[in-house]
Amino acid sequence: MIFNKRGLFFISLLGLVLLLENVYALGVTPAKQEFNFVPGFEKSITYTVFEDNPARELDLYVAGGLAEYVTLDKKTLTGGGSFVATLKLPNSLEIPGKQVILVGVRQKVDPELIQGNIGTAVAIQSPIVVHVPYPGRYVELKLTGHDANVGELINFELDITSKGTEDITITPKMEILSHTQSVGELPFQTRLLRSQDVLQLKKQFDTKGLNPGTYTAVAIVDYGAIAKSQFDFRIGNLSINIINYTDLIPIGKLQPFNIVIESGWNNDIDGVFADVQILNNTQILQSFKTSSSSLSSWEQKTITGYFDSSSMTKGVYNVNITLNYYGKDQKGVTSKVVQVQFFEKPSLVIWFVLGGAGVLIILIIGAIILIKKIKSIKNGTFKKHSKK
């Protein structure tokens, strides 16, 4: 049976609705719990389960490396409801790092019942994360920031987490790099970082005097070992780069000319269009404008103009592309001279001749194969008669 596009759309939409209905029929809160390891730590967590079928039976379970330290007050639920999971940690744990326990809810499957469109039971799990400290000193860093324009401030945030058993004194520092060359440093005060604590620090960096481009901020903490985190960011100015363009154009009719452009600014750019001139030395053979568009920060887009190529002759020509645009009431201009090749398409007569020649060659090859087969059959028949 053949369906039209509208029919296929509605069938796909129906399938998606059925899939989502099956997947999202089960839910549990809270979604995630996190704790630092403390000897003998105990915590009761109340979970609420949502199930759209009030008669459906649900299994409750615990999985993961520390599952033995969690007990549930119930093993099953019907049609949703609530249950309590109690986490009770021992006095010590041998394996340091991030340990994950999964508290799960799973729909019971009737083995005699053909299930819905997926055919498997739906299950959902809520993690309990226990951070077990490393022996001695251990530090992790997370550095974040954002893009900016030349002359603007960049706000960096640095999270320093102690995941060791010892308190330590640290003096963080940040360095700003252009490729591998340092262009600035941001020192921090010396601070005490207690075991399993998190320090959240911030610094501002002034981009005044820097060139547009991509930079790297590197945060470093020396605590006997070296902890590092880096963040790549861009410093922009009001500019648009020409990334690509149409460089091969057939002669003979109205043709599109595409220009791929990319914003180099951290703000929106409006009224972007290109003046395009096709040149023969200094003589302008053709000129036209592309459509007008806008660019969001750092966006790449294609703009298109059209021109009549029927008056062109084949060859390579210089094409002057001039982009005009505005950002925050400032005007910007980008110009680039590129080379474009014009070529003539083969006429239909040539295609017919080539096609006919191809068909003739195929017929000749087929005739040769047929003749050879006929000869071989005759030779075989003659030999059989001679034996008699």
Please tell me the predicted confidence (pLDDT) of residue 117.
47
Regions of the chain with pLDDT less than 70:
1-24, 110-120, 347-354, 378-388
Distance CA 220, CA 229 (A): 7
What are the domain boundaries of the chain?
25-111+121-132, 139-235, 240-343
Please tell me the predicted confidence (pLDDT) of residue 279.
96
pLDDT tens, 19-30?
A: 444 445 799 999
CA-to-CA separations, 136 to 49, 112, 132, 194, in angstroms, rounded:
41, 56, 12, 12
**What CATH number has the domain spanning 25-111+121-132?**
2.60.40.10
Please tell me the predicted confidence (pLDDT) of residue 227.
97
Closest by CA to 138, choosing from 106, 164, 103, is 164
Buried b vs exposed e over 87-118: b needs ≥16 C-beta within 10 Å?
A: bebeeebeebeebbbbbbbbbeeeeeeeeeee
Fold of 139-235: Immunoglobulin-like (2.60.40)
Please tell me the predicted confidence (pLDDT) of residue 321.
98
Report the predicted TM-score, pTM, of the whole model to 2 decimal places. Answer: 0.72
Q: Which two tokens stand for residue 364?
A: 């000749």
pLDDT tens, 284-338?
A: 999 999 999 999 999 999 999 999 999 999 999 999 999 999 998 899 999 999 9
Please tell me the predicted confidence (pLDDT) of residue 223.
94
Please tell me the predicted confidence (pLDDT) of residue 367.
76
Please tell me the predicted confidence (pLDDT) of residue 353.
61
Please tell me the predicted confidence (pLDDT) of residue 382.
47
Please tell me the predicted confidence (pLDDT) of residue 105.
97
Please tell me the predicted confidence (pLDDT) of residue 370.
79
CATH of 240-343, one of 2.60.40.10, 3.50.50.60, 2.40.110.10, 2.102.10.10: 2.60.40.10
Distance CA 44, CA 88 (A): 9
Say if 25-111+121-132 and 240-343 have the same CATH topology: yes
Q: Residue 364: phi, psi to the nearest 5?
A: -65, -45
Distance CA 375, CA 221 (A): 89
Please tell me the predicted confidence (pLDDT) of residue 349.
54
Burial of residue 363, with CB atoms counted within 10 A of its CB: 0-12 exposed, 13-18 middle, 19 or more buried: exposed
List the beta bridge partners of residue 342.
249, 315
Please tell me the predicted confidence (pLDDT) of residue 329.
84
